[in-house]
Amino acid sequence: MLHLVEYFDKGRYRPLLYRAALSEMYVPYADPTPSHNFKNVFDAGEVGIGVLANSLELGCDCLGEIYYFDATVNDAEGQPIVLTNAICMHEEDASILWKHLEYQEDGSTRAEVRRSRRLVISSISTVGNYEYGFYWYLYQDGTIQYEIKLTGIIAPAAITPGEQPVSGTLVAPGLYGPHHQHYFNVRLDMMVDGLQNSLVEVNCEPLPWGPDNPRGNAWVARETELATVGQAQRSIEPRTARYWKIVNPTARNALGQPVAYKLVPAGNAFPFFHEGSPQWLRGGFARWHLWATPYDPHERYAAGDYPNQQPGGGDGLPVYVERKKDHTLVETDLVVWYTLGSNHVVRPEDWPVMPVETVGFRLQPAGFFDGNPALDVPPSEHNH
């Protein structure tokens, strides 16, 4: 959980996020057999992802110059316990930040390049058979990236030799891995240069042929304000390169544009369970990739405070939205909820321990600065 993320810009701290945290994670299984068809686990709201955090080890989970945070949590009886090294913070090289090469009149070349350094804040939790690594990456150009690394051991099932699973993949003689999905919801309490934030959807689309587009190559990035809670239930759309902007209309950059940050989706998934199924009712936040609400201190979890006590889906984002669907999202204390999913069609290579799979998204400045904010990064020792 991050609190009050700011960027130090020209002698002042500019707020970006008031609070950012994983809100819920949900794992519905696709196998229709009796041993798996009931599985739809809420690893945050039911199991407790925080109390399952690993004690991280130097040189294995994290590398370099590291600061560790201990965490004090409650055990099953409500007693405080300390998890040592539950959170790791370190800096690491992240390839190039920016580069340009110029050809000189004498035939020589001159290159300017800057290495990127990113601050990594991470934690890893073991939930039964699976490991989940949660990584915040803070970059010098103002980009904030959230990445979840999935690894560990699949939940295998037995099968009669010679048979093929309906919703799964054989991984060893007599064993198969059931297909399943992982859904994560991240709650972003935005604060882009203040609390007067609005939400805009951006879709890229071609312009029609005509005198203003004689070669048929022109396209535009069309912006649509999502003005109410009811309008702000949206899905990804790769065909239009869809993303969303969190805009502060009361603050302007040097070009007179409202300052903004954009939420850029990475890989994602759509639910395959049927409408009206227990998975649909309980995991309602997976129906849309983007939700938005005005700030409410009582609305912090995408599936509600107690998902294990709401088998019919009586709480969480669908309920929040229904009771506030006409509330404005214009110049308000805006909370954006982003759902990201991993569709796991099990491979033989996932057995006996699966290599890391990743899902995530980025928050990037989009007019928040007057130009490239990373021009002040000094060249490295070997730059020439």
Active site residue 43: yes
CA dist., res. 226 & res. 359, Å (int): 25
Over residues 268-284, the mean pLDDT reads 92
Active site residue 75: no
For 294-345, the pLDDT digits (tens) are 999 999 999 999 988 876 777 899 999 999 999 999 999 999 999 999 999 9
CA dist., res. 106 & res. 256, Å (int): 41
Q: What is the pLDDT of residue 129?
A: 93
Q: Which domain holds residue 288?
A: 2-29+40-154+179-365
In a domain, residue 243? The reply is: yes
Token pair in block for residue 113 = 């390049």
Q: Is it the case that residue 384 has pLDDT exceeding 60?
A: no
In a domain, residue 370? The reply is: no
Q: What is the pLDDT of residue 253?
A: 96
- pLDDT bin (cut points 50, 70, 90) of residue 208 is very high
Which of 323, 330, 337 minimizes the C-alpha distance to 227? 330
In a domain, residue 383? The reply is: no
pLDDT over 70 percentage in the chain? 99
Q: Is it the case that residue 187 has pLDDT exceeding 90?
A: yes
Over residues 212-232, the mean pLDDT reads 97
DSSP letter (8 states) at residue 378: P
Nearby residues of 323 by Cβ (< 8 Å), 6 or more positions away: none
Any idea what the CATH number is for the domain that residue 111 is in?
Answer: 2.70.98.20
In a domain, residue 105? The reply is: yes
Which amino acid, 214? P
Q: Which helix (H) or strand (E) holds 154?
A: none
Query: How many separate domains does the chain show?
Result: 1
In a domain, residue 80? The reply is: yes
Tell me the sheet residues that pair with 360. 147
For 98-134, the pLDDT digits (tens) are 999 999 989 899 999 999 999 999 999 999 999 999 9
In a domain, residue 381? The reply is: no
Over residues 191-196, the mean pLDDT reads 97
Strands 258-265, 80-103: pairing is unpaired
Angle at 345 between CA 162 and CA 146, to 5 degrees: 160
- pLDDT bin (cut points 50, 70, 90) of residue 39 is confident
Q: What is the pLDDT of residue 112?
A: 93
Higher pLDDT, 4 or 41: 4
CA dist., res. 266 & res. 236, Å (int): 9
pTM of the model: 0.95
Token pair in block for residue 204 = 């890229």
Catalytic residue among 7, 18, 26, 130: 130
Q: What is the pLDDT of residue 313?
A: 73
Q: What is the pLDDT of residue 382?
A: 62
Q: What is the pLDDT of residue 60?
A: 83
In a domain, residue 376? The reply is: no
In a domain, residue 168? The reply is: no
Catalytic residue among 31, 43, 141, 189: 43
